[in-house]
Amino acid sequence: MDNKQLRRTVSRVAQATPAVKRHARFTPSGRVDRHTVTPYGRAVPDPLATSARPRRTQAERRATTRALILDSTAACLLEVGLAATTVSEVQDRTGLARGTIQHHFPTRAELLVGAVSHLVDARIERFRADAALIDPDADRMEAVVDLIWRDLSSPIFFAALELWVAARTDPDLRAALLPEEARLLATMRTMYAENLGDPLATDPRTASLVELTVDLLTGLSMLTMLGARASTRESVVRNWKQALRTLWAGQPAEDPAPDLHQTE
């Protein structure tokens, strides 16, 4: 068989053989996982993509799956609200079997409780990442106000807000939410002080003024759900920074202000 006949034979075989397709999907870690889909619908590993990748441990696979479930639950809360955040919806978004989801979270209530902790961790991680970007020469008070505003106007906050509203009439969810909110508040207070630095961090007025800032910007963030204009939001934040300068310039109070965020 000469070369020309060989090429014709190979061409006929290729045309008669169902094609295989290579697909790529993004894993929760951001890595592209490549696999080959045969004409019969069976997925097989792509040796070109997987041969150099170390095999993950069972604990790593479990953690990745859990993170995927919780990320998708948080996205559901933000995009479709609490009522529509069901196990079926999370299953559709993750592509996981229902049994896999229920292995990690046997009930919807447990899934939502897991989402509470996950959202708190995400807010803390995001705050730390944003704080690391502060210019060393920046005005510390303004920088912390900006950090608080970015936190309270982020999608993560609005997803958490869905759980706040539901917790008002759901005792079990409220019981799960309160300790996580306390953990968030304690961590945030520490990070506020770290980023304010001295002398603001040790000023007796600082705790109350920071809590007032959080309360004001929480309310402002809620207004954005009803369509508050960007110029209005920016004006409120700018005016509050100016007010803080005036308040910090005054004489400190003799008695410390009460903790405005204590829960009964």
Q: Is 195 exposed, middle or buried (0-12, 13-18, 19+ CB in 10 A)?
A: buried
- Show Cβ contacts of residue 189 under 8 Å, excluding neighbours closer than 6 positions: 207, 210
Domain identity same for 137 and 216 = yes
| Residue 10 vs residues 5, 20, 245: alpha-carbon distances, Å | 9, 16, 80
Q: What is the pLDDT along the chain (264 residues), one digit of tens a residue?
A: 555 554 454 355 444 444 433 333 333 333 334 443 333 344 444 544 555 667 888 888 999 999 999 999 988 988 898 999 999 999 999 999 999 999 999 989 889 889 888 988 999 999 999 999 999 889 999 999 999 999 999 988 988 888 898 899 999 889 888 999 999 999 999 999 999 988 888 888 888 999 999 999 999 998 888 776 777 888 999 999 999 999 888 655 555 545 545 555
User: pLDDT value at position 252?
Assistant: 57
* 133 plus 253 within the same structural domain: yes
At residue 72, φ and ψ (nearest 5 deg) are -70, -35
Residues 96 and 123 in one domain: no
Q: Which domain holds residue 100?
A: 55-106
* Adjacent-strand bridge partners of 107: none
Q: Do 156 and 259 share a domain, yes or no?
A: yes
- The answer to whether residues 250 and 205 belong to one domain is yes
CATH code of residue 68: 1.10.10.60
Dihedrals phi, psi of 84, to nearest 5 degrees: -90, 0
User: Does residue 176 lie within any of the structural domains?
Assistant: yes
Burial of 243 (0-12, 13-18, 19+ CB in 10 A): middle
Overall domain count for the chain:
2
pTM of the predicted structure, to 2 decimals: 0.69
Residue at 221 is within a domain: yes
Q: Say whether both 163 and 248 belong to one domain.
A: yes
In a domain, 18, yes or no: no
Task: Tell me how far apart the alpha carbons of residues 87 and 117 are, in angstroms, rounded to a whole number.
Answer: 18
Does 91 share its domain with 59? yes
8 Å CB contact between 194 and 150? no
Kindly state whether residue 21 falls inside one of the protein's structural domains. no
**177, amino acid identity:** L
What pLDDT does residue 156 have? Answer: 87
The answer to whether the beta carbons of residues 72 and 93 sit under 8 Å apart is yes
pLDDT of 34 reads: 41
Write down the pLDDT at residue 12: 53
6 within some domain: no
Question: Same structural domain for residues 165 and 242?
Answer: yes
Which residue is associated with the tokens 């910007």?
217
Any idea what the Cα angle at residue 257 is, between residues 254 and 262, rounded to 5°? 160
Q: Note the pLDDT of residue 78.
A: 86
Place of tokens 């998708």: 72
